[in-house]
């Protein structure tokens, strides 16, 4: 079997490719140059100047806001890396950490546990409150004489799940600690500033001092970003300026650089699949049609099988009704059918509601209380980011694959 598979692998490796290096087209890549974000980088440099010149003199907080694909994450990471390099040159003990709140299920406890696990091997998985973990982190920083810049990405998840207390505790913990008060700086990253309206006044007052608002990229700006990536990732003369411009124009409808870069990468993959020496406009069109601009499969990473089953049930209800929302009752009825289809025991109402809440923390679904036209008060559940039919098709494919896996029961079902 190994020789059989190896044959396919060697065959693929022997084929020509339009790519020189695909790494600069990955979502995790942090470029050294950020076109059209120079003003924001300068503002951050001014804001954190004291952390370099007078370490420990003060902590800082900043909020970065902008739509999907406007460069929030890469801006934070690039600045964090530059700050680490500069402080290292000045012999300042400094560390930048980037934590995605959605991946931590919107739980402050899980966010802090992840941070502390970086410093304390085999950190206990339970037994502490978020407040205790915060105090522990501050004391740890003081003990290590370490200055930490903590970037909390997709802050919406933290606000949605843990609410105002989490934000208040994060921003005020330093004021209540006698030591280490200037060892922790915070960088919050959020899509929509209006989301802060969910916070109470005490928490909100700590969030609005320093705000960096990123506007959507224009077609010209996206074209420059894409040309930078082409130089780093494509072999010379394998993709035309016309194709790059077309991708930029497509992506400019949403101003989403991540979407533009993903189309650029997929177009090359389509060219490679056909063993074409160049990327054609048809390859670009194929790539663009294969991606929903707002939806990324990363939104579904880490979901349990049960959560996928609930999401499949919701997708089917919405596909059938054509509506924007489904009632919890409709979702639960469809969930019963889905569980029977996949041979699983349905969970009870409380657990199903917990799954819906977790899905809400990922940003894939949205919930609201029922209004006019619905009898009684119930929770309405909507599907964000992707058409219901597309979500249904994707989930059915994933679930069928997992069902065949020997690890299906043991490792994935919760």
3-state SS, one letter per residue, for 55-109: CCCCCCEEEEEECCCCCHHHHHHHHHHHHHHHHHHCCCCEEEEEEECCCCCCCHH
Question: For position 412, what pLDDT does the model report?
Answer: 42
CA 1 to chain centre: 38
Which among 4, 386, 69 is positioned nearest to 259, based on CA atoms? Answer: 69
Q: Rounded to whole angstroms, what are the CA distances from 25 to 278, 297, 413?
A: 17, 16, 33
C-alpha torsion angle, residues 274, 280, 286, 288 (rounded to 10)? 140
Per-residue tokens: 99: 């934590």
d(CA 402, CA 408): 6
Question: For position 374, what pLDDT does the model report?
Answer: 52
d(CA 235, CA 17): 8
Question: For position 413, what pLDDT does the model report?
Answer: 41
Q: Rounded to whole angstroms, what are the CA distances from 224 to 231, 241, 257, 324?
A: 11, 11, 11, 37
d(CA 19, CA 239): 10
**For each of the chain's 414 residues, which pLDDT tens digit applies?**
456 666 666 776 768 899 999 999 998 999 999 999 999 999 999 999 988 888 777 888 999 999 999 999 999 999 999 999 999 999 999 999 999 999 999 999 999 999 999 999 888 877 899 999 999 999 999 999 999 999 999 999 999 999 999 999 898 876 655 554 578 999 999 999 988 988 998 888 877 679 999 999 999 999 999 999 999 999 999 999 999 999 999 899 899 999 999 999 999 999 999 999 999 999 999 898 788 666 666 667 678 999 999 999 999 999 998 887 899 999 999 999 999 999 999 999 999 999 999 898 877 888 888 765 555 578 899 887 677 888 899 899 888 877 765 444 444 444
Question: For position 375, what pLDDT does the model report?
Answer: 55
User: Residues 270, 283: contact at Cβ < 8 Å?
Assistant: yes
- Calculate helix-pair angle for 349-362, 328-341, nearest 10 degrees: 100
Per-residue tokens: 162: 């843990």
Angle at 355 between CA 347 and CA 375, to 5 degrees: 85
d(CA 317, CA 323): 9
- Calculate helix-pair angle for 281-289, 241-251, nearest 10 degrees: 20
Q: Is the dihedral of CA 39, 45, 46, 47 positive or negative?
A: positive
Q: Would you list the DSSP string of 215-257?
A: PPPPHHHHHHHHHHHHHHHBPTTSB-HHHHHHHHHHHTTTT-H
User: Residues 164, 202: contact at Cβ < 8 Å?
Assistant: yes
d(CA 42, CA 78): 12
Model confidence, pTM: 0.77
Per-residue tokens: 214: 């990123």
Domains, the chain, in order of start with CATH, read 15-24+217-289 (1.10.8.60), 38-214 (3.40.50.300), 299-412 (1.10.10.10)
Q: Tokens 């994935």 belong to which residue?
A: 412
Per-residue tokens: 271: 């060219």
Question: For position 14, what pLDDT does the model report?
Answer: 66
């Amino acid at each position: 079997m190994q020789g059989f598979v190896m044959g396919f692998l060697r065959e693929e490796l022997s084929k020509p490719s339009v790519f020189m290096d695909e790494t600069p087209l990955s979502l995790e890549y942090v470029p050294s140059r950020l076109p059209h974000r120079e003003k924001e980088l300068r503002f951050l440099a001014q804001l954190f100047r004291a952390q370099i010149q007078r370490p420990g003199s003060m902590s800082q907080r900043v909020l970065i806001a902008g739509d999907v694909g406007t460069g929030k994450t890469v801006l934070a990471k690039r600045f964090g890396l530059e700050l680490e390099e500069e402080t290292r040159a000045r012999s300042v003990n400094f560390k930048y950490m980037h934590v995605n709140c959605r991946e931590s299920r919107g739980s402050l406890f899980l966010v802090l546990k992840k941070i502390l696990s970086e410093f304390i091997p085999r950190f206990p998985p339970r037994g502490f409150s978020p407040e205790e973990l915060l105090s522990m982190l501050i004391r740890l920083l003081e003990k290590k004489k370490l200055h930490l810049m903590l970037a909390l990405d997709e802050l919406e998840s933290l606000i949605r799940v843990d609410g105002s207390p989490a934000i208040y505790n994060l921003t005020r913990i330093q004021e209540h600690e006698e030591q280490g008060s200037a060892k922790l700086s915070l960088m919050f990253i959020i899509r929509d500033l209006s989301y802060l309206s969910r916070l109470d006044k005490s928490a909100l007052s700590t969030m609005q001092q320093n705000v960096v608002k990123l506007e959507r990229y224009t077609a010209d700006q996206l074209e420059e970003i894409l040309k930078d990536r082409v130089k780093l990732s494509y072999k010379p003369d394998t993709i035309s300026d016309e194709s790059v411009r077309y991708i930029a124009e497509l992506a400019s409808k949403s101003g989403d650089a991540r979407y533009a870069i993903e189309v650029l990468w997929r177009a090359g993959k389509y060219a490679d699949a056909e063993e074409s020496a160049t990327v054609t406009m048809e390859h670009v069109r194929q790539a663009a049609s294969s991606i929903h601009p707002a939806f990324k499969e990363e939104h579904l990473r880490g979901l349990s099988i049960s959560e996928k089953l609930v999401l499949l049930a919701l997708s089917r209800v919405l596909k059938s009704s054509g509506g924007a929302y489904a009632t919890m009752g409709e979702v639960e009825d469809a969930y019963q059918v889905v569980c029977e289809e996949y041979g699983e025991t349905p969970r009870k109402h409380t657990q199903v509601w917990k799954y819906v809440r977790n899905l809400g923390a990922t940003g894939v679904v949205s919930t609201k209380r029922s209004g006019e036209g619905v009898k009684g008060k119930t929770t309405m559940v909507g599907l964000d980011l992707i058409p219901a039919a597309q979500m249904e098709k994707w989930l059915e494919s994933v679930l069928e694959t997992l069902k065949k896996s020997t690890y299906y029961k043991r490792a994935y079902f919760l």
